[in-house]
Amino acid sequence: MFTYIVRRLIAAVMLLFVVSIATFAIFFLVPRLAGMSADDLASRYVGKAANAQVIHDTAIRLGFNDPVIVQYGRFVKGIFTGVDRNYGPGVEHCPAPCLGYSYVTQNPVLPDILNRLPITLSLALGAAVVWVIFGVATGVVSALRRGSFFDRLSMGIALAGVSLPIFFTGIVSLAIFRDQLGLVGDVADWVPFSEDPLTWANNLILPWVTLAFLYAAGYARLTRAGMLETMSEDYIRTARAKGLAERVVVLKHGLRATLTPVLTMFGLDLGLLLGGAVLTESTFSLPGIGKYAVDAISNNDLPQVMGVTLIAAAFIILANLIVDLLYAVVDPRVRLA
C-alpha cells in the first residue's frame, strides 16, 4: 500500500505539471500562434487610453517579449524558489510557493486564494455531507420499495434536481426562504466558523441545500440502480438463507457493494467543488475560489487563472487518491487484489 501511495503521489505531481503546461500554453502559446504580438497581449492589462509606449513598457515589465519557454520556466521557478517583482518604486520578493502577482490588482495570487479557501471549503464540505446522506438514503429506500409511491415520487424529484440548473434553484430559494419568509440571513455576509458558528451555518444553509439538491439527485439514482442489481445477487439470497437480519443484509452486504461507484463519483464531485463552486458562489455572491476564478477569467488575468487551475487540479487529484484508498475499506476484494 505504501508503494502504491508513493506511485500515485508521483503521478499526481506529473499531472499537475502537465496541467500547468496546458494552461500556460492556452494563454501564451496559442495567442502567439494566432499572430498576436507581445504588445497585443500587454494591451489587455492597461487602460483603453494607454498609448503605444505604455503598452510596450508593460509588455517588457511582464516579460511578454521573452520566449514562451522562458516565461514558463520563470513561473515554475517562482513556485519552488520564489520570485522578485519589480513594480517600479522598488523590488518585492514573493516567497515560495509563489504563483505570481495579479496583473490587475498587483496582489500576490496565493494569499488571495488562501483567503477565499475557507469559504469554498465550508460550502463544498457542508453540501457534500447533505447530499451524500440524503442521496444514498433515498436511493436505498427507493430500491427496497421498488414501484411504490415513495419510489416514484423520490425519482421524480431526483429527475427535477438533475434537470434544474443551480442558478435557477438558487435564485428561487433566495426569493422564497430569504426575501419572503426571512428564514435565513444574507448569504453574502460571510462569517467565519471560528467567530460565530450559528451565523456561519445560518448563512450557508441555503447554498448547502441548493447545491445538495443538484448532487443528491444523481446519487439517489446511482444508488438505487446499484442496489437493485446487488440485491438480486446470489450472495444476498445466501445471506438471507443463513438467517441474517434484513438490516445486516441490506447495509453490510448490499449497500457496501454498491458504494464503489458512489465513492468514485463523490471523489470527482468533491474535488471539483473544492476547486471552486463557480455557479453556486456566483449565484449567492459568496467570495470564494469560484467567484475569484470568474473574475480572473473576465479580466484575462493569467496568474490568477493559473493559480486557481493548479489549486483545483490539486484538489481533484487528492480527492481521487483518497477515494482509491477508501476502496480497500469498502470492498475487501480490492485489498486482496
Does the pLDDT value for residue 282 go beyond 70?
yes
In angstroms, rounded to a whole number, what is the distance separating the alpha carbons of residues 187 and 280? 11
pLDDT for the residue numbered 147: 84
Q: Is 278 within the bounds of a domain?
A: yes
pLDDT for the residue numbered 88: 61
Domain extent at residue 15: 1-94
For residues 260 and 114, state if they share a domain: yes
In angstroms, rounded to a whole number, what is the distance separating the alpha carbons of residues 277 and 40? 32
Listed range (68-72, 196-200, 261-265, 325-329) with the worst mean pLDDT: 325-329
pLDDT by residue (tens digit) across 114-129?
999 999 999 889 999 9
Per-residue pLDDT, averaged over 166-187, amounts to: 79
Using alpha carbons, list the distances in angstroms from residue 315 to 121, 124, 179, 310: 11, 12, 35, 9
For residues 150 and 72, state if they share a domain: no
For residues 141 and 258, state if they share a domain: yes
Q: Is 103 within the bounds of a domain?
A: no
| Average pLDDT value for the chain | 83
pLDDT for the residue numbered 267: 84
pTM: 0.81
Listed range (205-219, 222-236, 269-283) with the worst mean pLDDT: 269-283
For residues 30 and 146, state if they share a domain: no
H or E element, residue 83: strand 83-86
